[in-house]
Amino acid sequence: MRRLNLRKHCYILLWFFLALAVGAVWLLGGRQAEQALPPFLPDLQTGAAAGGKIQLEAEDMAQEKELAGVWVPYMSLDTADHTQKAFEENFQSIAREAKEMGLNALFVHVRPFSDALYPSALFPWSHLLTGEQGKNPGFDPLAFMVDCAHSLGLEFHAWINPLRVKTAETPKALAANNPYSVLQADCPYYFMEWEGGVYLDPAYPYVRSLIADGAAEIAEKYEVDGIHFDDYFYPAEDASLDSEAYALYMETVETPLPLLEWRRANISALVAEVYAKVKKARPQAVFGISPQGNIENDENMGADVQAWCASPGYVDYICPQLYYSFENEALGYAEALAQWQALPRHENLALYAGLALYKAGTDADGGTWLLSDDIIRRQIEAARASQCSGVVLYSSQYLHTEQTQAEVANLPFWENTEKEKP
């Protein structure tokens, strides 16, 4: 109780001094705050909340060629014997397969569980490399993957899961230098727990800076073409997730935002800080997010996609996961695509369509994926017709399987290759 009261006192003092600086830059939001610093509400009136009100000129996102990408999830990078040779041969196979079928970009999972597939000063080594989180594999997987992709003429986008520390089952054990292991005893409020999983709480400036600094670390050290977030933000709508942080916020403002709006403000502050730090580290790299295809669902989990699309300073591109068949009763592909196209977008924002290759040949969406074997091709054609800048397929695991073979053979990207269709 004493610790809570002290934090509450500091929280009130923080707002007092911020009030004296009305109109100035939010310096604290972009700094590595003291560990015990409680959360504060980001400024919602600008497009760059957390990293200061810095309006960065967005890179011209007009592309000479259509982006044709594929997600490479962490599961695809795991090998049975956990050796350097196995890892490199596996990734080479993934990259070559993508190249052979005419794709031009890889979105590769490099930080799936507050861990890293590269030597990091902020996060432990991923368990995917050795079977044990924190164990040095003896080589730099990210350096190899970037070089491999670029040698084949493929873009490499470093895919980060921003909040997830662990699920109920993965990883089985956390390293001693995992943020949770380091901070949980003194700062348990930095984390949210849900259904056996652990997640970083973006309400706190320290947490947001940790994530943003991690993204900038990648952009600074590696010649990546972009930094990429997936759709995992707040794991649930339940008010118990971050009740302490929200209670502290409620006590410091006269007219507090409702819980969901406050959460969206926290995530937007995180996104803006990541954008600013990535651009500082590597101005030519793009930063984008792949939210769920249902806009209402995004907003309920803290992703204010409408603000990110409309205002510069958040993302260079948005890639909604339009994982629906045309006949999906709840939300069909054409309807979802039209909804995203209708959102106001700032001048330099690119729109990509994320497509569910993994559903091809299955009875998903009421069996509608079994109606034909050219659904993904027609979805690509619809995306092109609506002026999307490209598409991204989920995932590399389904580029060469019996289940998806017919759909893959009908994809239009083969037209750019001399390779025979499967």
Q: Per residue in 59-91, pLDDT tens?
A: 443 345 899 999 999 999 999 999 999 999 999
Residue 419 binned pLDDT confidence (cut-offs 50, 70, 90): low
Name the token pair of 10: 């500091």
SS3 72: strand
Q: Per residue in 314-351, pLDDT tens?
A: 999 999 999 999 999 999 999 999 999 999 999 999 99
Residue 131, pLDDT > 50, answer yes
DSSP conformation letters of 239-289: GGGGHHHHHHHHTT-SSPPPHHHHHHHHHHHHHHHHHHHHHHH-TTSEEEE
Q: Determine the Cα–Cα distance for residues 240 and 243; give it in Å rounded to an integer.
A: 5
Among 10-19, 118-127, 172-181, 347-356, the least confident range: 10-19
Residue 417 binned pLDDT confidence (cut-offs 50, 70, 90): confident
DSSP-derived secondary structure letter, 421: P
Output the pLDDT for position 382.
98
DSSP conformation letters of 110-145: EESSS-BSS--SSSPBPHHHHSSTT---SS-HHHHH
- Which helix (H) or strand (E) element contains residue 68? strand 67-72
User: Minimal CA–CA distance to 378: which of 416, 337, 341?
Assistant: 337
Output the pLDDT for position 64.
56
Output the pLDDT for position 414.
85
What average pLDDT score do residues 254-275 get? 97
SS3 20: helix
DSSP conformation letters of 324-378: --TT-SSS-HHHHHHHHHHS---TT-EEEEEE-GGGTTS-HHHHGGGS-S-HHHH
Residue 13, pLDDT > 50, answer no
The label of the residue with tokens 């400036």 reads 205
Q: Per residue in 173-193, pLDDT tens?
A: 999 999 999 999 999 999 999
Q: Provide the percentage of residues in the chain whose pLDDT is more than 90.
A: 82
Residue 344 preceded by cis peptide, ω within 30? no
Q: Per residue in 241-254, pLDDT tens?
A: 999 999 999 999 99
pTM for the structure as a whole? 0.87
Q: Determine the Cα–Cα distance for residues 403 and 180; give it in Å rounded to an integer.
A: 39
Output the pLDDT for position 418.
65
Among 191-205, 328-342, 348-362, 402-416, the least confident range: 402-416
What average pLDDT score do residues 259-275 get? 98
What average pLDDT score do residues 272-291 get? 98
Output the pLDDT for position 157.
99
Residue 35, pLDDT > 90, answer no
User: Minimal CA–CA distance to 61: which of 287, 269, 268?
Assistant: 287
Domain architecture of the chain: domains with CATH: 2-56+68-318 (3.20.20)
What average pLDDT score do residues 50-62 get? 39
